Structure 1
């Protein structure tokens, strides 16, 4: 995992601690936070990340327990009768689905402790603060330009986490000289962790149009 990837994820969690009301209401960007305030946001972000690790592991355990129960139910239903076969098949399918979800969640969770360890490095912490500051300083302008490439939708209607992912990707490209393709891919990775399938697809489409707009070429 590259240091920029860790810094960007921490920056995303930092932004989630800041009110989005000014931007959503069209009243201009929030005043840039002082370094001391940003450092406090960073500590809150680390706490949030630690909680996310615990919750992800708990959810993985729950999914695997549910899978075990479904497989047990399939055995109890299997009495050799043809009438029971649909129930047995359904329990098996449910059990395998829960097992797959649990294993996928567990696999994703195993990366989080490493992220926590890397986030203790001063270079990564400073990079996270720099990215959060960049978004806060130019949020109003970013929102206007992102909104301009939305198709049949408004930026303010997106979930807060999706808006912050888009803003971070934009500043990565414009202020931190990250190649557009890399920034887009990393934004989608964040959406995979913190958003949902609809959000991931929306973020991917918006960023493709944003990076293709005349001002970005």
Structure 2
């Protein structure tokens, strides 16, 4: 896992909890929120492990029932299929839980914390500019009406492209990957489409200025 990828995820988990009032934003409060985000992820890992264990136990019971209680081949097949589904779900949960300890360890690194704070503080310094650009692109929609995670993903990526020198392709790809993890089924497509329009707008603005 790359340090900046972890930093973006921490920024995403922290951004919505920070006051929009610049006077109430300070480095100590941001650090506190980052710590809270890491703690939340640790709790999520524990919950996933407990849920996975319960699903594996249910799957084991279904396999046993298919051998001892099934009245016919169809009911036995259904029990086995349910056991397989439970096992697959448990494996997926375990995969996420296994990744989190590495995430948490990296999240405590100075480089990660520093870039997380840079994203958050720079966004709040440039919030009016970032939000205006996004609202202009959304046209018949409003930034404040978007799901919180989608809105914050757009804000983070736009801030990185406009003010932190992150290449457009990198910022978009990272935002899309986070959307696949945190947004709804089609969220990553929406994020990708809007951010591509953001790059066009930024490029158009730069061309206009240079011309």
Shorter-chain TM-score range: 0.7 to 0.9
Q: Which has the higher contact order (CA 8 A, sep 6+)?
A: 1
Q: CA deviation at 1:17?
A: 2.0
Q: Distance in 2 between matches of 1:40 and 1:46?
A: 10
Task: Report what 1:55 is aligned to.
Answer: 47
Segment of structure 1 superposing worse, 7-16 or 204-213: 204-213
2:38 aligned residue: 46
Alignment of 1:184-203 (within 5 A): 184-203=172-191
1:75 alignment partner, one of 67, 73, 83 = 67
Structure 2 equivalent of residue 145 of structure 1: 133
Q: Give the TM-score normalised by the residue count of structure 1.
A: 0.80
CA contact (8 A) 1:210 1:216 kept: no
Which residue of 1 is the match for residue 21 of structure 2? 30
Query: Which runs of 5 or more structure 1 residues have no equivalent in the other structure?
Result: 20-28
SS in 2 for 1:17: coil
- Give the number of the structure whose residues are more often helix, by fraction: 2
Structure 1 residues 141-194: Cα deviation after superposition (integer angstroms, max 9, x where no partner): 322322333375433222212211111111122222222222222112222332
Aligned to 1:179: 167
Taking only aligned residues, the RMSD between alpha carbons, in angstroms, comes to 2.5
The equivalent residue for 1:6 is 6
TM-score (norm 2): 0.82
Partner of 1:134: 122
Secondary structure, aligned partner of 2:92: helix
Gaps in structure 2 of 5+ consecutive residues: none
Distance 1:5 1:58 in 2: 27
Cα distance in structure 2, aligned partners of 1:72 and 1:212: 59
- Count of paired positions: 204
Equivalents in 2 of 1:59, 1:153: separation in Å? 38
CA deviation after TM superposition for structure 1 residue 113, in Å: 0.6
Question: How far is 1:98 from its partner?
Answer: 2.4
Mapped to 1, the partners of 2:104 and 2:158 lie a distance apart of: 25
How far does residue 131 in structure 1 lie from its aligned partner after superposition?
0.8
